[in-house]
Amino acid sequence: MGNYATDERRTMKVLVVEDDKTLRTALGSMLERTGRAVLNASNVEEGLLHAPDADVILLDLKLGADSGERFLECLRGVGNYTPVIVLSGVYPKESTADKLKKYEIVDFMEKPFKSSELVDKLTAAEKLTRGMASISEAADKFVKTTQNLRQLAGKSITEIGRP
């Protein structure tokens, strides 16, 4: 899973998986201007290496000879459910977004797109990331409480009162 954080002040890390260096650089600059940290990848393998550190992923669907769909398959296959926004200048939104539903993507954007639209979608994805962090923290607390209760259940009443 991604590097979830509930702290609103923490800088969110966005992984940009885009084979077009010019677009990758432009996206990175725009994201940094909005206060986000940027991780860059030009292919599936680099993207998978950086994915564990990302809070949100921007993924181009056509990565040269490779595909964003393969990235999604690998990412989800290892249990990483970091929110992903798919970008494509080749494939139509309607049919492609339906095809990618099985990978639980957050959104799909057709290129070209407005920076403001991307920022809005990223903000929504970041809220999802923070929500996932809250759920993860609550689950951890539940597990610890359950373990403590199991330990207590094995002790006698006189043992529980002792320091």
What is the chain's length? 163
What's the whole-model pTM score? Answer: 0.77
Task: Report the candidate in 98, 93, 92, 100 with the shortest Cα–Cα distance to residue 68.
Answer: 100
Residues of the chain with pLDDT under 50: 1-6, 134
pLDDT score at 134? 47
pLDDT score at 95? 81
pLDDT score at 94? 77
pLDDT score at 161? 60
pLDDT score at 117? 95
pLDDT score at 84? 97
pLDDT score at 55? 95
Identify whether the C-beta of residue 105 lies closer than 8 Å to the C-beta of residue 86: yes
Q: Please identify, in words, the CATH class of the domain defined by 13-131.
A: alpha beta
Ordered by start, the domain boundaries in the chain are: 13-131
How is the chain split among helix, strand and coil, in percent rounded to 5? 55, 15, 30
d(CA 77, CA 121): 24
